């Protein structure tokens, strides 16, 4: 099927941000496997990310994680990225790997620890000033493991107070995105477990605070597309951390575990105007490639998002509205399924070629020799990882 021009025009604007950490080694608590060619530095991570962008035209920016990607000169790093054809994107804060944060960071009962976490956010804001990044991402590992361990109510108050201090330092064009997660590493309660809690804090803070929706951070069976629709309705969907899960926060390739779910999510994004630049929604990946190739893993991921976006854009909304309003359950469902079952891959391959991109970016990467080159070149040093 040929893809309508209007759909292709919309797809042309699509950009998906890559996480720097996807290019480093990762694993489970059982084992981290090292891989030949794994970057040792942020510069090497950026070089790998630039490959994904060069072959797909989909990934023009890279998110950094601080302190994993700390450098002395961020202006120089931004310039280096520019030279590779990518930009530095969201700055991810990290308040989960310091001994002081054992019982919490922005929610800790000790004001000194809370201030330390706030100071880390300030450091991230300063980095954003140098990299030109728009978004500060806050994900908290804060929570408790046992009933009675902490004062859940007070921790909400401390969280609000800490977030306010950070929010008040945001520059004119900067934003804060607050990510939620219902468990892990805390197992009894987390301080930002769900979109509602994130929304409550963001709404109290103001316009520049938005919710970050990580697709892996929900209980099984959660209707994520409903959350997308609701947050877009409220003007509070700041960003996505895309990945997919079978069981817990698996961080697998987006669209791999449940392509239909990704389609449903993208359908609500389209319906809610979330693809329009004015909506300001950042589409990011938050993935780890424990056993598969990292660069092809990222290529596959951005292509999956593109394919499901294309299918979502094919939904015949006029027919859908009509069937919904007529109470025609099966017709409405069929409209959606027709779009989902449309194979857009040949059409996208053709379109890619017409824009000077490889028809098959996965095959092009395999044939490029880049992996062999970095395997041979990146000898010695310390391969990047989670730093955990």
Binding site for ligand PSV (CB under 6 A): 92, 139, 179, 181, 214, 241, 249, 286
Phi, psi of 209 (to 5 degrees): -110, 130
Rounded CA separation 167/158 (Å): 14
Q: Of these partners, ligand PSV, Mn ion, none, which one is at the site of residue 133 (CB under 5 to 8 Å by kind)?
A: none
Site membership for Mn ion, residue 194 (CB under 5 A): no
Contact 228, 265 (CB under 8 A): yes
- Residue 249 C-beta: closest distance to Mn ion, Å: 8
Q: Is the peptide bond before 176 cis (omega within 30 degrees of 0)?
A: no
Nearer Cβ to ligand PSV (162/371): 162
Cα–Cα distance, 280 to 15 (Å, whole number): 12
CA distance 363 to 111: 54
Task: Tell me which stretch binds Mn ion (CB under 5 A): 86-94, 168-176, 237-245, 302-310.
Answer: 237-245
Give the residue closest to ligand PSV by C-beta. Answer: 139
Nearer to ligand PSV, 97 or 354 (CB): 97
Which of Mn ion, ligand PSV, none does residue 92 bind to, with CB < 5 to 8 Å depending on kind?
A: ligand PSV
Nearest-angstrom CA–CA distance, 31 and 46: 25
Closest to ligand PSV by CB, 194 vs 214, is 214
249 binds, among ligand PSV, Mn ion, none (CB under 5 to 8 A by kind): ligand PSV
Nearer to Mn ion, 42 or 141 (CB): 141
Among 17, 194, 214, 268, binds Mn ion (CB under 5 A): 214
Name the residue nearer to Mn ion (CB basis): 65 or 311. Answer: 65
Going by C-alpha positions, the residue among 94, 18, 21, 10 that lies closest to residue 289 is 21
- Distance CA(226)–CA(199), nearest Å, equals 14
Q: Scanning residues 245 to 304, which ones bind Mn ion (CB under 5 A)?
A: 286
* Least separation in angstroms between CB 241 and Mn ion: 3
Report yes or no: 201 and 212 within 8 Å, Cβ to Cβ. no
CB of 160 to Mn ion, least distance (A): 22
Question: Number of C-alpha atoms within 13 angstroms, CB side, residue 60?
Answer: 8
Q: How far is the CB of 195 from ligand PSV (least distance, A)?
A: 14
Contact criterion met (CB below 8 Å) for 85 and 60: yes
């Amino acid at each position: 099927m040929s893809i309508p021009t209007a759909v292709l025009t919309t797809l042309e604007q699509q950009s998906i941000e890559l996480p720097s950490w996807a290019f480093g080694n990762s694993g489970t608590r059982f084992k981290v496997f090292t891989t030949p060619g794994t970057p040792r530095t942020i510069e090497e991570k950026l070089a790998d990310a630039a490959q994904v962008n060069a072959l797909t035209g989909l990934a023009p920016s890279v998110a950094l994680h601080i302190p994993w990607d700390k450098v002395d000169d961020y202006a120089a790093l931004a310039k280096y990225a520019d030279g590779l054809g990518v930009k530095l994107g969201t700055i991810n804060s990290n308040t989960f790997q310091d001994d002081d944060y054992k019982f919490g960071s922005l929610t800790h009962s000790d004001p000194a620890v809370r201030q330390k976490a706030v100071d880390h956010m300030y450091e991230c804001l300063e980095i954003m000033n140098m990299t030109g990044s728009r978004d500060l991402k806050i994900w908290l590992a804060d929570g408790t493991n046992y009933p009675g361990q902490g004062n859940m109510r007070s921790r909400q108050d401390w969280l609000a107070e800490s977030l306010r201090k950070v929010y008040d330092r945001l520059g004119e064009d900067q934003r804060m995105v607050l990510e939620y997660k219902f468990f892990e590493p805390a197992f009894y309660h987390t301080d930002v477990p769900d979109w509602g809690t994130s929304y409550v804090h963001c709404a109290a803070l103001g316009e520049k605070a938005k919710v970050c929706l990580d697709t892996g951070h929900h209980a099984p069976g959660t209707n994520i597309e409903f959350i997308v629709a609701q947050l877009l309705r409220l003007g509070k969907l700041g960003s996505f951390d895309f990945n997919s899960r079978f069981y817990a926060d698996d961080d697998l390739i987006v669209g791999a575990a449940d392509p239909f779910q990704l389609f449903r999510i993208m359908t609500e994004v389209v319906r809610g105007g979330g693809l329009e630049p004015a909506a300001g929604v950042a589409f990011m990946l938050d993935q780890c490639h424990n056993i598969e190739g990292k660069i092809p893993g990222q290529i596959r991921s951005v292509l999956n998002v593109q394919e499901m976006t294309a299918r979502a854009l094919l939904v015949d909304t006029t027919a859908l509205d009509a069937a919904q309003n007529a109470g025609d359950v099966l017709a409405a469902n069929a409209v959606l399924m027709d779009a989902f079952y449309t194979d857009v891959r040949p059409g996208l391959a053709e379109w890619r070629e017409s824009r000077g991109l490889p028809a098959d970016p996965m095959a092009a990467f395999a044939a490029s020799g880049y992996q062999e080159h970095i395997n041979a070149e990146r000898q010695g040093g310390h391969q990047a990882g989670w730093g955990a």
